[in-house]
Amino acid sequence: MLKTALNSKILGVDILPMSSPSSTKSKRYAAFLLSSSGNKVFEKLTLRELLKTINEIEPDTVASDNIFEFAPDQKGIIYLIRRFPPITRLVQVNGSPADGMEPLATIAGRYGLTTSSKLSPIEAAEMCACLAAKSVGFIVTAFEDETKIIVSRSRTLGPGGSSSERFRRRLHAFVLQTTQVIKNTLDDAKIDYDLYTQESEHGLKQSKFLVYVDRAKLETLIKPSRGRDVQVKIEPVVLDKLEWIPLIPKVITPVSKRGLILGIDPGMTCGLAVLDLNANLLLLRSEKELTRKNIIRETSNFGVPVYISSDVYPPPEFVKKLSKSLNAKIYSPSHTLSVAEKRDITRKFLEGKNLKVKDSHQRDALASAIKSYQHLKNKFEQVEAHVKEMNVYVPLDQVKASVARGVSISEAITSFLDEEEYDDETEETILIEEKPEEVIGKLKNKLDQYRLKLKRQRERIQRLEEQIAQSQNSIQTLKEEVESLNSQIEILRSENLAEIKLDRTHARYQEENARLKSELVKVKNELASVRLQFSGLRRMKLMESRGIVYPLKIVKSFNQEEIRKTDELLGIKSGDIIFLQDSTGGGRQAAEFLIQKRISGIICGSGMSHMALEKFVEADILVIPSDDVNIKQVDEFAVIELQELDRVLDKYRKATLDQKKAQAAQLLENVVKQYREERQRELSENH
């Protein structure tokens, strides 16, 4: 007998022969309880007795090979599930209408549960329970994982009279008060919900909460009630049709989708408009109590929302929650749009299109989506112009989506651009402002050094690409050899010749194939690293050639190993200024190692030891705290504006000179003082 998990209870059910769900005669069922505390058999239960048993036992699962043995249609199944305990789920073990169904005995035999093709009702019920315990089958659900709470008056207003208006105000105030209590309870429990209200001058006529949890989780916090003035109803949200969810979820491979702009007009009747990033209208609808879950489910068929739009300022709470659920940005106009503005916006958009706006909710949603697109239109046109000017192939819609999310145009294009297709000739030529001859000479020398380094990197890339090509050829050759050997093995096996020898040869080639694949992965990783370095060096060259900023060479930690890494990657030369991100921990040896490079200055990201600082002062190397300069980080490089650098260097050179002058003056004063004291002592001795 199959053992179940600790405290798990599964009730398998099968209808008895000569019973029919559509029959007017009483149906009878056999049931088998599979439980960790002991199994139990139930025979000849009516549907009423079966429901009573289910509510007494409160099983985790009720399993059947045909749910329509309980009721002939969907309405009857919904009625049945409503009467289950909140924790109990209905499972059909032998398939679903969409995936196809098989006989119960066939599936049970596949899992080694039975060898019989003819099962009695008790045996069938037992097989259903055992298969459900093995996670075989589909959960049949009639409700969303959502619950509706409706707050309304429990008495009619009746005919008018002298006190009818006072009675109306009282009821509306009670509805508002009860709504606020429920809202506070949900907020304290941090449960997600949407709230729809019908307002009146003195409170609320009615309110509806759509709470994004099932009723079982909600019933411990809020109970249905009916008082003298106000009633609270709690109802599960019924699906349009039954859903069949596999007990073992299927893995769905995500696909790349186009970017969308959603226009939302929330309320009891919700308006929804969907535009793509080229202002094509994909969907326009309005529906009563349109939930966030429905919006997400429906728009996912078109793409991925990047902007959620509203026609009011500030945006409603519904729009904020939807934006958070979809990880999309919010667009809200600087002022709430008037009816005239919304009519004008939608009229111009729909000119020449065979489309009509059915109601004000659709109009408001469409107007907000159009305003959002107009807000982004200039950026999108710049994206198209940049891509056309660069003459490169990139997924334009995805680039626009990245820009809409806040990424710069150049970064968005670069992120989709294959570096192998990047052409240096497309780079914009930067004109350098006229500088003194010495500065120009230094820049030319540095450019020559970078060109040499770039040439070496290109040669290395070419060698690695050749190695990759050779490895791929070797893999292909080995695959062909493996296939050939496999064929030979089959022939030799059929002839009973040299079976063991060929098996070993096959295994050896498979090991060699795996080794070469591993080497190929290593070569590809090394190539990616080299390309990254190459790209960084090129950006550094462009920044320096502009003559506007000075690139600082970054040393992450103040030790000889990190200094060597920076020297190998970028080359530390005489006159360079180094940016020590973490200058703590370095001593005399690390300082002397940097002094040997004949650098002209150091910018410290943190405090420096006294011994290292003395060494740099002795070597006339300026040490500048990073708080005194405005350093901009660019990937693995840091830059500083030349004007600011010159100003800071002059400031610290002057401070150093003043310090040396003060020290010299103090020294001279001490010498004169000492001379006077010795002279005074000599005169005293002579007298």
What distance in Å separates the CA atoms of residue 411 and residue 407, rounded to the nearest whole number? 7
What distance in Å separates the CA atoms of residue 481 and residue 487, rounded to the nearest whole number? 10
pLDDT tens track for 134-154: 989 999 988 887 888 999 998
Mean pLDDT check: name the lowest of 316-325, 458-467, 589-598, 616-625: 458-467
- Residue pair 585/562 in contact by the 8 Å Cβ criterion: no
What distance in Å separates the CA atoms of residue 263 and residue 272, rounded to the nearest whole number? 6
| Mean pLDDT, residues 358-387 | 92
Q: Which residues contact 433 (CB under 8 A, 6 or more apart)?
A: 547
Residue with tokens 């035999």: 109
| Mean pLDDT, residues 405-427 | 63
Residue 634 is predicted with a pLDDT of 59
| Mean pLDDT, residues 312-340 | 90
Q: Where are the beta strands (DSSP E) in 517-592?
A: 549-557, 577-582
**DSSP for 93-149?**
TTEETTTEE--HHHHHHHTTS---SS--HHHHHHHHHHHHHTT-SEEEEEEEEEEEE
Q: Which residues of 32-45 are buried (b: 16+ CB within 10 A; e: fewer)?
A: bbbbeeeeeebeeb
Whether residue 551 has pLDDT greater than 90: no
Residue 432 is predicted with a pLDDT of 38
Q: Which residue in 421, 422, 416, 419 sits closest to 401, CA to CA? A: 416
**DSSP for 288-348?**
ET--HHHHHHHHTTT-EEEEEE-SSSSPPHHHHHHHHHHT-EEE--SSPPPHHHHHHHHHH
Q: 3-state DSSP call for residue 561?
A: helix
**DSSP for 196-213?**
EEEEETTEEEEEEEEESS
Q: How many CB atoms lie within 10 A of CB 148?
A: 19
- Which range is most confident: 215-219, 228-232, 420-424? 228-232
Q: Which has more pLDDT, 416 or 54?
A: 54
Burial (0-12, 13-18, 19+ Cβ within 10 Å), 524? middle
Residue 666 is predicted with a pLDDT of 81
Number of H-type helices and E-type strands within the chain: 18, 23
Q: How many CB atoms lie within 10 A of CB 276?
A: 17
| Mean pLDDT, residues 444-467 | 77
Architecture of domain 9-136: 2-Layer Sandwich (3.30)
Whether residue 320 has pLDDT greater than 70: yes
| Mean pLDDT, residues 608-616 | 83
| Mean pLDDT, residues 21-44 | 84
Whether residue 435 has pLDDT greater than 50: no
Residue 263 is predicted with a pLDDT of 95
Mean pLDDT check: name the lowest of 200-209, 337-346, 525-534: 525-534
Q: Please tell me if the domain spanning 9-136 has the same topology as the one spanning 259-388.
A: yes
pLDDT tens track for 153-200: 987 766 555 577 788 888 999 999 999 999 999 999 888 888 888 888
Q: Which has more pLDDT, 4 or 516?
A: 516
Per the rule left: phi > 0, alpha: psi between -120 and 50, beta: everything else, 547 is left
What distance in Å separates the CA atoms of residue 616 and residue 621, rounded to the nearest whole number? 5
DSSP classification of residue 514: H
- Residue 342 confidence class, pLDDT cut points 50, 70, 90: very high
What share of the chain in percent tops pLDDT 90?
25
Can you say how many angstroms the Cα of residue 597 is from the centroid of all Cα atoms in its chain?
Answer: 46
Rg (Cα) of the chain, in Å, rounded? 39
- Residue pair 170/164 in contact by the 8 Å Cβ criterion: no
DSSP classification of residue 251: P
Whether residue 463 has pLDDT greater than 80: no
Residue 253 is predicted with a pLDDT of 44
Tell me the domain boundaries of the chain.
9-136, 145-157+167-246, 259-388, 437-545, 549-662
Whether residue 251 has pLDDT greater than 60: no
- Taking domain 549-662, whether its CATH number is 3.30.70 is answered by no
What distance in Å separates the CA atoms of residue 559 and residue 561, rounded to the nearest whole number? 6
pLDDT tens track for 626-684: 888 888 775 566 788 888 888 888 877 787 777 777 777 788 888 778 878 887 888 88
Q: What angle do CA 422, 423, 426 make, to 5 degrees?
A: 115
Residue with tokens 């916006």: 345
Residue 425 is predicted with a pLDDT of 37
pLDDT tens track for 76-129: 898 898 889 888 999 999 988 888 888 898 888 888 887 777 889 999 999 999
Average pLDDT, the chain: 83
Positive/negative CA dihedral, 425, 428, 430, 431: positive
Calculate the CA dihedral of residues 157, 158, 164, 167 and round it to 10 degrees.
Answer: -30
Residue 176 is predicted with a pLDDT of 92
pLDDT tens track for 287-306: 887 888 888 888 888 889 99
Whether residue 333 has pLDDT greater than 70: yes
Q: Which residues contact 182 (CB under 8 A, 6 or more apart)?
A: 149, 151, 209, 222, 232
Whether residue 426 has pLDDT greater than 60: no
Mean pLDDT check: name the lowest of 53-57, 58-62, 93-97, 475-479: 475-479
- Residue pair 19/68 in contact by the 8 Å Cβ criterion: no
Residue 428 is predicted with a pLDDT of 37
Residue 254 is predicted with a pLDDT of 42
Phi, psi values for residue 523, rounded to 5°: -65, -40
Positive/negative CA dihedral, 512, 513, 518, 520: positive
- Residue 283 confidence class, pLDDT cut points 50, 70, 90: very high
**530 DSSP β-pair partners:** none
Q: Which residues contact 70 (CB under 8 A, 6 or more apart)?
A: 13, 21, 47, 64, 76, 77, 80
Q: Which residue in 596, 560, 601 sits closest to 579, CA to CA? A: 601
- Residue pair 602/594 in contact by the 8 Å Cβ criterion: yes
Three-state secondary structure string covering 375-435? HHHHHHHHHHHHHHHHCCCCCHHHHHHHHHCCCCHHHHHHHHCCHHHCCHHHCCCCCCCCC
Q: What is the domain class of 145-157+167-246 according to CATH?
A: alpha beta
Residue 284 is predicted with a pLDDT of 93
| Residue 276: HSE in the Cβ half-sphere, 13 Å Cα cutoff | 12
Q: How many CB atoms lie within 10 A of CB 346?
A: 22
- Residue pair 384/396 in contact by the 8 Å Cβ criterion: yes
Residue 431 is predicted with a pLDDT of 35
Q: What is the domain class of 259-388 according to CATH?
A: alpha beta
Whether residue 51 has pLDDT greater than 90: yes
**DSSP for 165-176?**
HHHHHHHHHHHH
Q: 3-state DSSP call for residue 604?
A: strand
